Structure 1
Amino acid sequence: MSANTIEHNRNRYNFSGVESIWLFGYGSLIYKVDFPFLEQRPASIRDWERRFWQGSHDHRGTPEAPGRVVTLVEKPGAVCKGMAFRVSPNVFEHLDVREKNGYLRFSTTLTFDDGRQAEGLVYIATEDNEAFLGHAPDADIARQIAMASGPSGPNAEYLLRLADSLRALGADCPHTFAIESHLHSTGENSRSGG
């Protein structure tokens, strides 16, 4: 599948008659909220885990030197904590462009911190997209992140802001925190400003 998913996403859902829908954010959508929303609540989804397995050629890297950003991979029993936003469907005009590098919208069940549930959408970059990088040792991922930078800034900034946001949510993400630790131990995060 092409890394550019804008048209795929626009053809996946018919929002006619829909006034608002929940969107689940688990990566930069947690801390870079550059879209209007009607409501915002911490939430989680089941059977998915966050992984730095997606290449970023358009935001946190370049085609020649891609960065790494998070996607979700299936894991039965796993719980991925993030932030849910209730949005108007017209917000996807912007988000489909922002998330165009390999991400498709999927339906998911969100569980809010109070135990209530709702159906919503989540962007996931699946392994069949051109930008998917897949598994690598945490130290190697940290090195790649330390070296990468793109139009949205240094890849290290993405990692550090995500780790801080997850802590603020009370989310346990050993994968993200291990890569953050490797980044700090290499001293290669100076490009992010610390």
Structure 2
Amino acid sequence: MRTRQMALTPEHLAQVHRLLEDPGPDPTWTYHADQDYKAIVDRLLASHPGGPDAWLFAYGSLIWKPELVHVEARRATARGWHRSFCFRIERFRGTKHKPGLMMSLDRGGQCRGVVFRLPPDDLERQLDKLVRREITVKPPNNIPRWVTVETDKGSLRAIAFVMNRQSRFYTGRLPPEEVADVLAEACGHWGSGAEYLHNTVAHLEEQGIRDRNLWRLQALVAERITPNA
């Protein structure tokens, strides 16, 4: 599949990027502790669908920055879920004064991504790294659960982080224009929302995966940054 030229370019990203210090955890929030992470991993292992393999479904930054060991990767489709910038963040890629938006899997539609097979001899440690990366506050924004995905070698069960609609940061489905307004300005100590979007779209393209909603969104974000050049 031929890679398309994105409207959102490194030049756009440079205009949004700012060097910011990490404000640290908000003392008014409640955070997961070691015993909480262990309980989450134990539940995932106890609910493992069986068989020798454990798979992880990646749909966003886990594709381009997995930070965990895997022994195989395949393209996959999760039906009944779709990518959505549907929860607000006030740290990492946003601030309290200029909150950002982060992507999760929300109900409805379908999502094409990548599944990673995790090493069976190091599964518990890799899952611990994974949940610590994806989950911070209570109640969590993302909830890990087993979902069915389809690959070119058949269907399988994989762990996916899906949106917790009970989270106080859940925004529901926002118009793409509103999402673009936020991503074109929000930035935190990890970088900007525009950079996150750019990396996700670019790496999906490398995998031969075209998400028409994200493709439209990156063009909308580029339009909002360009007038400030």
What pairs up with 1:176-191 in 2 under 5 angstroms?
176-187=214-225
2:142 is aligned to 103
What pairs up with 1:104-143 in 2 under 5 angstroms?
104-112=143-151, 114-143=152-181
TM-score normalised by L of structure 2: 0.71
Residues 28, 186 of structure 1: CA spacing in aligned structure 2 closer, same or farther, 3 A cutoff? same
How far the C-alpha of 1:41 sits from its partner, in A, is 1.4
Residues 42, 122 of structure 1: CA spacing in aligned structure 2 closer, same or farther, 3 A cutoff? same
1:28 is aligned to 61
Amino acid corresponding to residue 14 of structure 1 in structure 2: L
2:113 is aligned to 82
| Further displaced range: 52-61 or 147-156 | 52-61
Instruction: Say what the alpha-carbon RMSD is for the aligned residues.
Output: 2.8
**Runs ≥4 in structure 1, deviation > 6 angstroms?**
16-19
Q: Tell me if structure 1 keeps the 8 A contact 2:142–2:164.
A: yes
Q: Which blocks of at least 5 consecutive residues in structure 1 are unaligned?
A: none
How far the C-alpha of 1:29 sits from its partner, in A, is 0.6
Q: Tell me if structure 1 keeps the 8 A contact 2:44–2:145.
A: no
1:154 is aligned to 192
2:83 is aligned to 50
**In structure 2, distance between residues paired with 1:170 and 1:184:** 22
SS in 2 for 1:162: helix
| Further displaced range: 135-144 or 7-16 | 7-16
**In structure 2, distance between residues paired with 1:108 and 1:145:** 29
TM-score normalised by L of structure 1: 0.83
How far the C-alpha of 1:3 sits from its partner, in A, is 8.0
Q: Tell me if structure 2 keeps the 8 A contact 1:3–1:131.
A: no
Q: May I ask how many residue pairs the two structures share in their alignment? A: 187
2:17 is aligned to none
How far the C-alpha of 1:19 sits from its partner, in A, is 6.3
Q: Which blocks of at least 5 consecutive residues in structure 2 are unaligned?
A: 1-28
**In structure 1, distance between residues paired with 2:114 and 2:166:** 26
How far the C-alpha of 1:162 sits from its partner, in A, is 0.7
> How far does the alpha carbon of each residue in 1:15-37 deviate from its partner, in whole angstroms, 9 at most, with x for none?
59986410001011111121111
Q: Tell me if structure 2 keeps the 8 A contact 1:146–1:156.
A: yes
